[in-house]
Amino acid sequence: MTKLIKLTSVIFLLAISYGFFSCSSEDGPAEPASLIIKIKFDPTQIRLNNLGQPSVIPEGNAAQTPDMKNISAHYLELAPSATTLLGQGKVLYHAPETDLGGALAIDFSQAKIVGQNEVFLTIPITTEMAGSYEWVRLSLAYQSGKIQVFSQGATYTGTLDSFLGYNTYIGSHSIGNNVFPVNANRLQGYWAFALDSFPYMTSGQAPPGATTVPNPLFQTSPVPQGSCVVTGRFENNLTLVGNETSDVVVTLSLSINNSFEWTEVNNDGKYEPSAGENVVDMGLRGMIPSFVRQ
């Protein structure tokens, strides 16, 4: 009988201990909420110029809306107001850079490339991020999408890689089985193209300053020439207190509305490089940020 009482007591104590440690584990520090950044492409979103105003295609040029597949950025910043200068907001991300090609440049080998609506960044929300933010600045670095090419009476589909950053060091990059060895820096506007169904590949460089970079804050908060810092405004300010208990998902909607533009030789609205029609612009045409709290 005594042994039975002792055994019962031991079991009771073990049960209490198990319950104590189980509760301690469940009630431990919660994971911090995160700011989740997603990027999407919108072919119908308003088409803007460098000043953030509605834009039309210049006379003598033509354009098409690419079927965008992938994109990468190298800088992300939240800005409290229209007078917040570039770099003085809350910088959330700055991608790796290198001087392997001479001047400092974005390191393409370390670029984070995502597709439509994929998560680009997950950033734990800290007290240092507390504030009310009206604007977002996103410096784009690279994009890849499908475009249509006209040649000898037929239309072909191909893939266009565009490098939009201020300067990018590229070891090599590929489009399908087509490899483009560069091993050097390339300024904003470098592009490469390959047909999907035929063994054809080519590359080139858009003129300096030709890539559109919409910035509605050009008067109060300019961005450097040759950068690709696209600026967009929240409909309602994004407010962070630093101790959020649920994630905040920010979606950056980029306008690809007729974002691929070229000079026309044959005025037919078809991109015909064999006729001497040259790429002049491949920049995104605006950004609209939004957010939801999960």
Residues 165 and 265 in one domain: yes
According to the model, what pLDDT value does residue 1 have?
Answer: 45
Residues 24 and 167 in one domain: no
**Alpha-carbon distance 222 to 215, whole Å?**
8
Average pLDDT by consecutive 10-residue portion of the chain (294 residues)?
Answer: 42 39 48 94 97 95 97 98 97 97 97 96 96 98 97 94 97 96 96 92 90 95 92 98 96 98 95 92 96 96
Residue 198: both structure tokens together: 């035929």
Residues 189 and 53 in one domain: yes
Residues 201 and 60 in one domain: yes
**Full domain range(s) for residue 6:** 1-30
DSSP summary character for residue 99: -
DSSP summary character for residue 257: T
**Residue 41, burial from CB neighbour count under 10 angstroms (0-12, 13-18, 19+):** buried
According to the model, what pLDDT value does residue 226 have?
Answer: 86
Residues 57 and 22 in one domain: no
Place of tokens 């690419």: 66
What pTM was computed for the model?
0.87
According to the model, what pLDDT value does residue 31 have?
Answer: 79
Query: 28 Cβ partners below 8 Å, 6+ apart?
Result: none
Tally the domains of the chain.
2
CA 162 remoteness from chain centre:
13
Residues 5 and 80 in one domain: no
Residues 208 and 229 in one domain: yes
**Alpha-carbon distance 143 to 70, whole Å?**
6
Residues 52 and 15 in one domain: no
Residues 3 and 125 in one domain: no
Residues 20 and 50 in one domain: no
Contact 142, 113 (CB under 8 A): yes
Residues 124 and 167 in one domain: yes
Residues 137 and 3 in one domain: no
